[in-house]
């Protein structure tokens, strides 16, 4: 697929994926969703040397200012549930991606933009970042996981307030509440995200992937997280990487993980 609404740049195994609709403050229209789905379902899983992915927004002002309001006015009522389910499915691909995916939030992350950032494994906020779920202002509710992921990240009471008032959350408050992992000067958010990915790339790839899987398992509401962790632990402990990691510790050398 030829990407027209996202920019994909691979620099030494770290992909920076930029939502590229600057004139519409990077609002998510159907084409962006199509391209995100293709990228996370088809392209990215095939890249063997991939270390991780940074998602950011084009321009100085916005990460993503929401779903494209102009486009969703044309949705029929019957379409809405399917549109919501598809968006959730695509954001779940991001959440379940086996390599770290970090949102570099360079400005407004509103509505679907906040939901996209929350589907990522971590969020690095520029000092100018503004998060929020303003759907109530438009007479709708978040449809891409916002009512579920915001309480998970900042707690139920706080999430309820922001979901019901539609108020924006500035970078300092996002950090204080655990919505942002770090706040950095504007323009340094991608760099910080890459530093974290570079560090994670020195760890055992299977252990990284299984950790992501286990953390997600606790939130899907279906499996017993502790049981899932124990089973996964059993599987990971058979890996060559575990033998190598333990041997390297004992021999006081740097581990050389093979992802096996
Ligand atoms: N969609 C489309 N265009 C947008 C947009 C958006 N979400 N946000 C901004 N733009 C466009 C503006 O229309 C404007 O375009 P022109 O008029 O110049 O053509 C351009 O971007 C610049 O925006 P502003 O002129 O408004 O810039 P300001 O600096 O004055 O304000 C702002 C920045 C971020 C505060 C403001 O643009 C704003 O409030 N934007 C909307 C924020 C918002 O409410 N986002 C949507 C949240 S609701 C669904 C599932 C999920 C959803 C919907 C449906 N279904 C299953 C059906 C989710 C919905 C949401 O995300």
**pLDDT higher at 139 or 79:** 139
The pLDDT-based confidence of 251 (bands split at 50, 70, 90) is very high
Q: Is the pLDDT of residue 95 over 80?
A: yes
Q: Token pair of 65, please? A: 């200012």
Residue 60 placed within a domain: yes
Of 164, 185, 200, the residue at which a domain comes to its end is 200
Residue 232 placed within a domain: yes
Pick the residue whose CA is nearest to atom 32 on ligand 1. 65
Global pTM reads: 0.96
Mean pLDDT of the residues in the chain: 95
Please check whether residues 220 and 147 belong to one and the same domain: no
Please check whether residues 86 and 180 belong to one and the same domain: yes
Q: Which of 63, 35, 196 is nearest to 121 (CA)?
A: 196
The count of domains in the chain is 2
Residue 256 placed within a domain: no
The mean-pLDDT minimum among 92-106, 143-157, 181-195, 245-259 falls in 245-259
Please check whether residues 170 and 123 belong to one and the same domain: yes
- Decide: 27 in ligand 1 pocket, CB within 6 A: yes
Contacts of 63 (CB under 8 A, 6+ apart): 19, 26, 56, 57, 103, 104, 105, 106, 107, 108, 109, 113, 116, 117, 129
Distance 25 CA to ligand 1 centre (A): 7
Please check whether residues 122 and 172 belong to one and the same domain: yes
Pick the residue whose CA is nearest to atom 56 on ligand 1. 84
Please check whether residues 85 and 193 belong to one and the same domain: yes
Please check whether residues 180 and 227 belong to one and the same domain: no
- Decide: 16 in ligand 1 pocket, CB within 6 A: no
Q: Which of 62, 28, 47, 147 is nearest to 97 (CA)?
A: 47
Strand partners, 21: none
Q: Which pLDDT belongs to residue 219?
A: 83
Q: Is 189 a catalytic residue?
A: no
Residue 233 placed within a domain: yes
Q: Is the pLDDT of residue 8 over 90?
A: yes
Q: Is 115 a catalytic residue?
A: yes
Q: Which pLDDT belongs to residue 131?
A: 98
Q: Which pLDDT belongs to residue 218?
A: 83
CATH number of 23's domain: 3.90.226.10
Q: By the 8 A CB rule, do 147 and 89 touch?
A: no
Of 200, 220, 239, the residue at which a domain comes to its end is 200
Please check whether residues 53 and 91 belong to one and the same domain: yes
> Which residue range is the domain that position 233 belongs to?
205-251
- pLDDT one-digit tens code per residue, 193-231: 999 999 999 999 999 999 999 999 988 777 888 899 999
Please check whether residues 76 and 21 belong to one and the same domain: yes
Please check whether residues 101 and 219 belong to one and the same domain: no
Of 200, 222, 243, the residue at which a domain comes to its end is 200
Pick the residue whose CA is nearest to atom 37 on ligand 1. 65
Residue 57 placed within a domain: yes
Q: Is the pLDDT of residue 76 over 80?
A: no
Please check whether residues 192 and 210 belong to one and the same domain: no
Q: Is the pLDDT of residue 151 over 90?
A: yes
Residue 1 placed within a domain: no
The pLDDT-based confidence of 74 (bands split at 50, 70, 90) is confident
């Amino acid at each position: 697929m030829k990407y027209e609404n996202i920019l994909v740049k691979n620099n030494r195994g770290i992909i920076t994926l930029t939502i590229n609709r600057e004139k519409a403050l990077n609002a998510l229209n159907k084409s962006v969703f199509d391209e995100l789905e293709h990228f996370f379902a088809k392209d990215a899983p095939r890249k063997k040397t991939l270390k991780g992915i940074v998602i950011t927004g084009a321009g100085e002002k916005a990460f993503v200012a929401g779903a494209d309001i102009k486009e969703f006015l044309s949705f029929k009522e019957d379409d809405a549930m399917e549109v919501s389910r598809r968006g959730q499915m695509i954001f779940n691909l991001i959440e379940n991606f086996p390599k770290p995916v970090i949102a570099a939030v360079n400005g407004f992350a509103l509505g679907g933009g906040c939901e996209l950032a929350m589907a990522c494994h971590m969020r690095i906020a520029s000092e100018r970042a503004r998060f929020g779920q303003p759907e109530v202002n438009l007479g709708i509710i978040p449809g891409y996981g916002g009512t579920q992921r915001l309480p998970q990240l900042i707690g139920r009471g706080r999430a309820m307030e922001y979901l019901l008032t539609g108020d924006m959350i500035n970078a300092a408050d996002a950090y204080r509440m655990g919505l942002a992992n770090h706040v950095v000067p504007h323009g340094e958010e991608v760099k910080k995200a890459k530093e974290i990915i570079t560090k994670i790339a020195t760890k055992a790839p299977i252990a990284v992937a299984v950790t992501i899987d286990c953390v997600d398992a606790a939130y899907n509401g279906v499996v017993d997280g502790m049981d899932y962790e124990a089973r996964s632990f059993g599987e990971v402990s058979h890996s060559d990487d575990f033998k190598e990691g333990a041997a390297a510790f004992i021999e006081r050398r740097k581990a050389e993980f093979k992802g096996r």
